[in-house]
């Protein structure tokens, strides 16, 4: 029946191609228990398998198997502890927009490689618009940020310009994804 409909003259060739090429999104391969597991782990990744099983109303073995499958499939990238940057002397948060002098594959790869080696940069995004990258930087204070700019970021030859925005107050910090 599906092929009869697709081969009818009313269906354009491009429509047939789109129908055949359409693939379910990754989200469609997850059932409600998988989603509940992911939500629960986002909230507290330290739960034991038994505690996780209780939370999703299953026994430990299927929960363990599901969790391992979600890890293998890449839904769970890693487990981390969220640290208090202020208590660790890194309370100054700066968002730094970076524009490169020139953009091509080699220059971009070199820039990204260098940024990945800088501890103060905790997040880096390749963006569209006036700037090429958005960096999130944790520093001890303004003096340490200035040293970072002069001695680390400023030493990258492809750097064209930067614009720094200093965080006055963190209004929301949620590492979870709404699923």
pLDDT per residue of the chain (179 residues) written in tens, 0 to 9: 444 444 444 444 444 343 334 444 566 689 999 999 999 999 999 999 999 999 999 999 999 999 999 999 999 999 988 899 999 999 999 999 999 999 999 999 999 999 999 999 999 999 999 999 999 999 999 999 999 999 999 999 999 999 999 999 999 888 888 88
Domain residues for 24?
Answer: 2-72
| Whether the Cβ atoms of residue 162 and residue 135 lie closer than 8 Å to each other | no
Residue 103 phi, psi dihedral angles, 5° rounding: -125, 120
Asked whether residue 162 is domain-assigned, the answer is yes
Asked whether residue 24 is domain-assigned, the answer is yes
Contacts of 94 (CB under 8 A, 6+ apart): 136, 137, 139, 145, 164, 165, 166, 167
Q: What is the domain-level CATH number for residue 135?
A: 3.30.70.920
Residues 106 and 61 in one domain: no
Residues β-bridged to residue 137: 94, 121
pLDDT for the residue 15: 42
Radius of gyration of the chain (CA): 23
pLDDT for the residue 22: 41
Residues 68 and 24 in one domain: yes
- For the full predicted model, state whether its pTM sits above 0.95: no
Asked whether residue 81 is domain-assigned, the answer is no
List the structure tokens of 87. Answer: 């208590």
pLDDT for the residue 173: 84
List the structure tokens of 100. Answer: 């490169």
pLDDT for the residue 121: 97
Residues 63 and 109 in one domain: no
pLDDT for the residue 61: 96
pLDDT for the residue 26: 60
Residues 66 and 99 in one domain: no
Asked whether residue 28 is domain-assigned, the answer is yes
List the structure tokens of 77. Answer: 């990238």
Residues 67 and 100 in one domain: no
pLDDT for the residue 10: 47
Name the pairing type of β-strands 133-139 and 159-166: unpaired
Number of structural domains in the chain: 2
Sheet holding 159-166, edge to edge: 121-126, 133-139, 92-100, 159-166
pLDDT for the residue 28: 63
Asked whether residue 172 is domain-assigned, the answer is no
Asked whether residue 61 is domain-assigned, the answer is yes
3-class secondary structure, 91: coil
Asked whether residue 44 is domain-assigned, the answer is yes
């Amino acid at each position: 029946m599906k092929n009869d409909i697709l081969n009818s003259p009313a269906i354009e060739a491009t429509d047939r191609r789109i129908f055949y090429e359409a693939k379910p999104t990754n989200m469609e391969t997850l059932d409600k228990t998988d989603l509940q597991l992911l939500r629960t782990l986002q909230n507290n990744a330290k739960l034991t398998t038994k505690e996780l099983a209780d939370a999703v109303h299953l026994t430990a073995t299927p929960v363990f198997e599901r969790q391992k499958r979600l890890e293998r499939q890449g839904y769970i990238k890693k487990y981390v502890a969220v640290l208090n940057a202020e208590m660790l002397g890194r309370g100054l948060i700066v968002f730094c927009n970076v524009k490169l002098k020139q953009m091509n594959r080699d220059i971009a790869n070199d820039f990204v490689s260098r940024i990945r080696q800088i501890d103060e940069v905790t997040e880096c995004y390749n963006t569209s618009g006036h700037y090429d990258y958005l960096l999130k930087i944790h520093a001890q204070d303004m003096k340490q940020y200035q040293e970072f700019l002069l001695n680390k970021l400023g030493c990258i030859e492809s750097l064209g310009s930067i614009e720094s925005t200093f965080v006055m107050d963190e209004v929301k910090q949620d590492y979870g994804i709404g699923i």
